[in-house]
Chain A
Amino acid sequence: MNGLLAVADLSGDPRRRAHDRRMQRLLGSSAFITIIISALILFVLARGSIDFLKSIGWDLGVLRDSSKAPGWFPRRERFDLITIVMGSVLMGSIAMLVAVPLGLGTAVYLSEFAPTRVRKILKPIVEVLAGIPSVIVGYFALKFIAPNIVDPIFSPDQSRNMVVAGLAIGVLVIPIMASISEDALRAVPSSLREASYGIGARKSTTTIRIVLPAAVSGIVAAFIIATSRAIGETMVAAMAGGRDGSGPRVLDPLEPGLTMTAAMTNAAGGTDQVNSGAPFQVLFFVGLLLFMMTMGLNVIGDRFVQRVRQQY
Chain B
Amino acid sequence: MPIVTDSQRSATRTQVRQAITQQKRHLPSIALSVTLLIAVTFTLLTLFSLLARIVTQAIPAFSERGASFLSGTIGSEPDKVGIWPGLFGSFAIGIGVLLIAVPLGIGAAIYLEEYAEQNRLNRFVVVNIRNLAGVPAVIYGVLGLIIFVGWLKPVTNGGTVVAAALTLAILVLPVVIITSMEAIRAVPMGLRDAGYGVGASRWEVTRDHVVPYAMPGILTGTVLALARALGEAAPLIMIGAITGLLPETSLSGKFTAIPMLIYSWSGRPDSSGGNIGWSNAAAGAGLVLLALVLVFNIIGIFLRNHFEAKRVGT
Q: Could you say which residues of chain B place their CB within 8 Å of the CB of A217?
A: none
Rounded to whole angstroms, the CA-CA distance of A138 and B286 in the bound complex is 11
Q: Which of B284-314 contact A (CB under 8 A)?
A: 286, 289-290, 293-294, 296-298, 301, 305
Q: Could you say which residues of chain B place their CB within 8 Å of the CB of A54?
A: none
Rounded to whole angstroms, the CA-CA distance of A131 and B39 in the bound complex is 20
Which residue of the partner chain A has the closest CB to B283?
Answer: A139
The reply to whether A109 and B40 form a contact with Cβ atoms under 8 Å apart is: yes
The reply to whether B54 and A140 form a contact with Cβ atoms under 8 Å apart is: yes
Q: Residue A135 at the B interface, CB < 8 A? A: yes
Q: Which of B49-78 contact A (CB under 8 A)?
A: 49-50, 53-54, 57
Q: Which of the segments A55-63, A76-84, A187-195, A231-239 contacts the partner chain?
A: A231-239
Which residue of the partner chain A has the closest CB to B147?
Answer: A40
The reply to whether A233 and B32 form a contact with Cβ atoms under 8 Å apart is: no
The reply to whether B141 and A171 form a contact with Cβ atoms under 8 Å apart is: no
Q: Within the complex, which residue of B104, B170, B234 is in contact with A261, where a contact is CB–CB below 8 Å?
A: B234
Q: How many A-B residue pairs have CB under 8 A?
A: 280
Q: Residue B187 at the A interface, CB < 8 A? A: no
Q: Residue B9 at the A interface, CB < 8 A? A: no
Q: Which of the segments A66-74, A151-159, A244-252, A295-303 contacts the partner chain?
A: A295-303
Interface size class of A (residues with CB under 8 A): 35 or more
Rounded to whole angstroms, the CA-CA distance of A26 and B106 in the bound complex is 12
The reply to whether A128 and B134 form a contact with Cβ atoms under 8 Å apart is: no
The reply to whether A38 and B28 form a contact with Cβ atoms under 8 Å apart is: no
The 8 A CB mask of A206-247 against B (1 = contact, 0 = none) is: 011000000000000000010011011111001100000000
Q: Residue A270 at the B interface, CB < 8 A? A: yes
The 8 A CB mask of B267-294 against A (1 = contact, 0 = none) is: 1000000000001001100100110011
Contacts A44-B146, A132-B290, A139-B282 given; indicate if A290 touches B136 (C-beta within 8 A). yes
Q: Could you say which residues of chain A place their CB within 8 Å of the CB of B43?
A: 102-103, 105-106, 126, 129, 174, 178
Contacts A31-B111, A35-B128, A272-B149 given; indicate if A208 touches B263 (C-beta within 8 A). no
The reply to whether A271 and B54 form a contact with Cβ atoms under 8 Å apart is: no
Q: Residue A202 at the B interface, CB < 8 A? A: yes
The reply to whether A37 and B173 form a contact with Cβ atoms under 8 Å apart is: yes
Q: Which of A126-153 contact B (CB under 8 A)?
A: 126-129, 131-140, 142-144
The distance from the CB of B275 to the nearest CB of chain A, in whole angstroms, is: 17
Q: Residue B83 at the A interface, CB < 8 A? A: no
The reply to whether B137 and A232 form a contact with Cβ atoms under 8 Å apart is: yes
Contacts A272-B240, A295-B134 given; indicate if A40 touches B143 (C-beta within 8 A). yes
Which residue of the partner chain B has the closest CB to A305?
Answer: B130
Rounded to whole angstroms, the CA-CA distance of A276 and B158 in the bound complex is 17
The distance from the CB of B278 to the nearest CB of chain A, in whole angstroms, is: 11
The reply to whether B110 and A27 form a contact with Cβ atoms under 8 Å apart is: yes
Q: Residue A97 at the B interface, CB < 8 A? A: no
The reply to whether B36 and A105 form a contact with Cβ atoms under 8 Å apart is: yes
The reply to whether A272 and B159 form a contact with Cβ atoms under 8 Å apart is: yes
The distance from the CB of A219 to the nearest CB of chain B, in whole angstroms, is: 14
Rounded to whole angstroms, the CA-CA distance of A238 and B305 in the bound complex is 36
Q: Which of the segments B91-99, B224-232, B245-253 contacts the partner chain?
A: B224-232
The distance from the CB of B106 to the nearest CB of chain A, in whole angstroms, is: 8
The distance from the CB of B35 to the nearest CB of chain A, in whole angstroms, is: 6
The reply to whether B111 and A38 form a contact with Cβ atoms under 8 Å apart is: no
Contacts A127-B301, A132-B50, A287-B142 given; indicate if A235 touches B286 (C-beta within 8 A). no
Contacts A45-B142, A283-B142 given; indicate if A34 touches B241 (C-beta within 8 A). no
Beyond the given pairs A45-B139, A131-B228, A275-B150, 9 more chain A to chain B contacts, judged by CB atoms under 8 angstroms and listed by A's residue number, are: A27-B111, A48-B146, A105-B35, A127-B297, A135-B263, A136-B262, A143-B266, A264-B238, A287-B139
Among all A-B residue pairs, the 6 with the closest Cβ atoms: A105-B39, A133-B231, A232-B136, A30-B107, A27-B111, A298-B134
